[in-house]
Amino acid sequence: MILKGAVIGNNCNICANTLIENNVVIGNNVTVKSGVYIWDGVKIEDNVFIGPCVAFTNDKYPRSKVYPDEFLQTIIRKGASIGANATILPGIEIGEKAIVGAGSVVTKNVPPCAIVVGNPARFIKWVEDNE
């Protein structure tokens, strides 16, 4: 389901059982696999891959029926890849061409071209040109 306020670029592949809220911007050539929920405040740039069941969050201290004045913005930069079942905490920036391993919990910004894995996600190496 894509809510009417969302902005979706060209040539995107949005798979089944995905929710995209109103205050979301998705660039061109983005793949969003099944079971992903993209909440208000998330910006995804061009050529990003988001694996199945990735969880974005937008509120550091969520409570039922209590909403912040504004949600922290999460930015996924061009060419980044997020593996299946990763969790991205609010206010995070994932750098250009960075890779987040499957099941990782991203608690802080990821530099461009970094590969991070684990809970919490930790740097393991830099992306090589052919990766």
Domain boundaries, the chain: 1-131
Nearest to 54 by CA among 37, 42, 67: 37
What is the per-residue pLDDT across 43-98, written as a single tens digit (0 to 9) for each?
999 999 999 999 999 988 888 998 888 889 999 999 999 999 999 999 999 999 99
DSSP secondary structure code for residue 66 in this structure: B
User: In the chain, what percentage of residues exceed pLDDT 70?
Assistant: 98
pTM: 0.94
CB atoms under 10 Å from CB of 75, counted, come to 17
Cα 95 from Cα 44, distance rounded (Å)? 11
Q: What is the CATH number of domain 1-131?
A: 2.160.10.10
Confidence (pLDDT) at 70: 83
Cα 25 from Cα 94, distance rounded (Å)? 15
